């Protein structure tokens, strides 16, 4: 983006002018236990160190309404829910987040980091749940009025590694990952989810980057930073 002063609008934001990552919408996604929350934390530090203003959101949730929807989706309250109702609730949470938080942030030149987005619906309710990609894309278009991330980072690990990682953790994750309603699904469900993420990387090569998320967190972090810097032309 040009550093010239513009007469009106958010382009005057210094944030936008100084860094190629300013005002971008970046999603981290992948199977449960792929390490995206840790890596998002690392990337937050990266942005802070460079003076890039950002906001981070999680899905489902990120707003009061979205957190209520999350409670239905990820607890016993959602038992017996049809996969299509589930897909629409994820989208409802997303619509609220997009209009309440994401669009205003981007309009102000703030970088937006999202822990999951439509890529998760395509993988979980689509590839694993059986809903056609075209139906999910059409619903996402309606829910977000066509707001797509500039870049979606997919962190890829095998399901066996993901399970090992999540059961090893002695923190809150022990009662979280693989234990809420969604994560109690059989191993082959998660395998389909993983394949769903991989096939999105093939399908949308212009806006997705696949990262090998095996190995130490600092090694994975370097891979992610390199991919993002290359994508946005950060010098
Ligand atoms: P969460 O506890 O936030 O897990 P994680 O830390 O792995 O993101 O739970 C979110 C769960 O919701 C996760 O299992 C994936 C699922 N999900 C979908 O099935 N569809 C979606 O569109 C989204 C956003 C999440």
**Residue at 18 is within a domain:** no
pLDDT at 183: 65
Residues with CB under 6 A from ligand 1: 32, 37, 58-60, 74, 90, 115-116, 120-121, 124-125, 176, 182-183
pLDDT at 185: 76
Question: Looking at residue 136, which CATH number applies to its domain?
Answer: 3.40.50.300
Asked whether residue 196 carries a pLDDT value surpassing 80, the answer given is yes
145-170 average pLDDT score: 89
Total domains present in the chain: 1
Which residue range is the domain that position 82 belongs to?
A: 25-232
**Residue at 165 is within a domain:** yes
Question: Separation of 50 CA from ligand 1 center, angstroms?
Answer: 30
| More confidently predicted of 97 and 173 | 97
**Residue at 9 is within a domain:** no
DSSP the chain: ---SPPSSSGGG-HHHHH-TTTT-EEEEEESTTSSHHHHHHHHHHHHHHTT--EEEEESS-SSHHHHHHHHHHHSGGGTT--HHHHHHHHHHHHHHHIIIIIHHHHHTT-EEEEES-HHHHIIIIIIIT---HHHHHHHHHHHHTS---SEEEEEE--HHHHHHHHHH--SGGGGTTTTSTGGGS-HHHHHHHHHHHHHHHHH-TTTEEEEE--S-HHHHHHHHHHHHHHHHT--
**Residue at 16 is within a domain:** no
**Residue at 19 is within a domain:** no
**Residue at 6 is within a domain:** no
**Residue at 20 is within a domain:** no
Banded model confidence at residue 163, pLDDT cuts 50, 70, 90: confident
Mutate to test the pocket of ligand 1, among 41, 69, 116, 213 (most ligand atoms within 8 A of CB): 116
pTM metric for this prediction: 0.89
Question: Separation of 59 CA from ligand 1 center, angstroms?
Answer: 7
Six-digit token string for 85: 């109702």
**Residue at 201 is within a domain:** yes
Question: Separation of 60 CA from ligand 1 center, angstroms?
Answer: 7
Mutate to test the pocket of ligand 1, among 98, 120, 189, 213 (most ligand atoms within 8 A of CB): 120
């Amino acid at each position: 983006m040009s550093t010239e002063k513009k007469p009106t609008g958010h382009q005057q934001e210094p944030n936008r002018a100084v860094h190629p990552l300013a005002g971008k919408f970046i999603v981290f996604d992948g199977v449960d236990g792929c390490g995206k929350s840790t890596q998002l934390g690392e990337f937050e530090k990266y942005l802070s160190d460079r003076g890039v203003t950002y906001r981070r959101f999680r899905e489902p949730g990120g707003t009061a309404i979205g957190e209520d929807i999350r409670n239905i989706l990820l607890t016993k309250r959602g038992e017996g829910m049809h996969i299509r109702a589930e897909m629409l609730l994820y989208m409802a949470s997303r619509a609220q987040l997009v209009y309440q938080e994401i669009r205003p942030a981007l309009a102000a030149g703030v970088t937006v980091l999202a822990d999951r987005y439509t890529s998760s619906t395509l993988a979980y309710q689509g590839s694993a749940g059986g809903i056609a990609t075209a139906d999910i894309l059409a619903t996402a278009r309606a829910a977000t009025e066509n707001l797509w991330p500039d870049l979606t980072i997919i962190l890829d690990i095998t399901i066996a590694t993901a399970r090992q990682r999540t059961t090893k953790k002695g923190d809150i994750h022990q009662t979280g990952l693989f234990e809420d309603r969604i994560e109690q699904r059989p191993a082959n469900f998660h395998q389909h989810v993983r394949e769903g993420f991989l096939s999105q990387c093939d399908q949308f090569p212009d806006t997705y980057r696949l990262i090998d998320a095996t190995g130490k967190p600092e090694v994975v972090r370097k891979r992610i930073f390199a991919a993002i810097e290359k994508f946005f032309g950060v010098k």
